[in-house]
Amino acid sequence: MTVLDLNQPTVTGAAERVGVELGARSYDIVIGNGLLSDASHWMGLPASRHALIVTNETVAPLYAERLTERLATLYREVHLVTLPDGETYKDWPTLQRVFDALLERGCDRKTVLFALGGGVIGDMTGFAAACYMRGTPFVQVPTTLLAQVDSSVGGKTAINHPLGKNMIGAFYQPARVLCDTSTLATLSDRELSAGLAEVIKYGPIADPNFLAWLEQNIDGLRQRDPDLLRFVVRRSCEIKAQVVGSDERESGLRAILNFGHTFGHAIEAGLGFGAWLHGEAVAAGMVMAADLSERLGLATAGLVDRLARLIERAGLPTRGPRLEASEYLRHMRVDKKAEDGDIRFVLIAGIGTAVVRSAPDDMVAASINAHCD
């Protein structure tokens, strides 16, 4: 894994491109300020008569008109469907509204779907594109930090089931990802911090220098320094693109991207989807996973404290909600990474090195109980 040169200057100016190399399914992630207003980065998208923008009630008033105007120069008919906002709506009834919009407007299998929003919109739009007429192109236009650094890249698409997060879905790659970092200015502080959880995870699993850089710059990131935000989007995408290019369907290496997520998904399911933001649950989950790494003798003492300090500075929880350890374990056993009921955890074997393995229930419970309120 390529590591970060801490002396490397922050790149400003023209938009940058990070390639996701997947043969015939390869695509670019374009990162820059003001992309929604810059026609040059929208050329070469799949051709069609129809384009359908999928967004939510929060994002639509901010950016839907601008994207509609941009797409009107490329497509004869641009349609818009606006969904309710929140993780609780990442379900079948809400997904049906996308299919309703496509069918009611006579959209064919060349119709291009545009996911304008955060991770929920990106996941649902991608899944709709994978399913509609057995596959139609889609483009990610992420407007949250979490979506720009993680969920918009890699082709994981899904909806939730009451018994588990992202349990119904498909691997389906976008035609392009367009990260307009100017949209991060309209995020709430809570949403920005939630995105930082997915940024922080890349240090422990892949890049020690990036973790050190984050420790030096986390305050500037929370203050929304545009150059710092753009840099973390690019670096996060570089790491994720490398992993996805090596393991598109999570048969091995890609699982490391789920550091903190096994615990985090259990928090989300246990509290009810939407009670905590995804990044908040992952943040507390990373502390638990780091604790388990230390208990198993994989990581040296100090990892938990180091991560917890950074996570707290990012404005994120370092402790999970007070759920019984047995409830955590029950939700973990329906996690996608579980095998025959055997829970698989992403653990840290030294900063920059992640492993996937199981652990005894009593040890997992001890890590949960040590970091729950």
Annotated binding-site ranges for NAD(+): 85-90, 119-123, 143-144, 156, 165, 183-186
336 has catalytic annotation = no
Please pick, among 278, 331, 336, 344, the residue that the annotation labels catalytic. Answer: 278
Catalytic residue among 16, 176, 258, 344: 258
At residue 27, the 3 state secondary structure works out as: strand
Q: Supply the DSSP string of 67-85, one letter for each residue.
A: HHHHHTTT-SEEEEEEEPP
Contact yes or no for 255/346 (Cβ under 8 A): yes
156 is catalytic: yes
Instruction: Note if 313 is an active site residue.
Output: no
Residues of each annotated binding site: 85-90, 119-123, 143-144, 156, 165, 183-186, 198, 261, 278
**Across the strands, what pairs with 29?**
18, 177
In the Cβ-directed half-sphere of 60, how many Cα atoms lie within 13 Å?
Answer: 13
Burial class of residue 73 in the structure, from the number of CB atoms within 10 Å of its CB (0-12 exposed, 13-18 middle, 19+ buried)? exposed
- In the residue annotation, 161 being an active-site residue is answered as no
CA distance 154 to 364: 29
230 in catalytic set: no
Residue ranges of the binding site for Zn(2+): 198, 261, 278
Cα–Cα nearest to 139, from 162, 160, 112: 112
8 A C-beta contact, residue 52 and residue 105: yes
Instruction: Name the token pair of 134.
Output: 């057995």
Active site residue 337: no
**Would you give the DSSP letter of residue 150?**
I
Catalytic residue check, 278: yes
Please answer whether residues 348 and 229 qualify as being in contact, where contact means their C-beta atoms are separated by less than 8 angstroms: no
Does the annotation mark 261 as catalytic?
yes
Which among 201, 235, 254, 344 is annotated as catalytic? 254
DSSP β-bridge partners for residue 18? 29
Residue 176 CB contacts under 8 Å (≥ 6 apart), including other chains: 27, 28, 29, 30, 45, 139, 140
In the block, residue with structure tokens 């986390």: 218
Query: Per the residue annotation, which of 16, 250, 280, 294 is the catalytic one?
Result: 250
- Residue carrying structure tokens 């594109």: 129
Q: Which of 261, 295, 337, 344 is catalytic?
A: 261
Tell me the catalytic residues. 134, 156, 198, 240, 250, 254, 258, 261, 265, 278
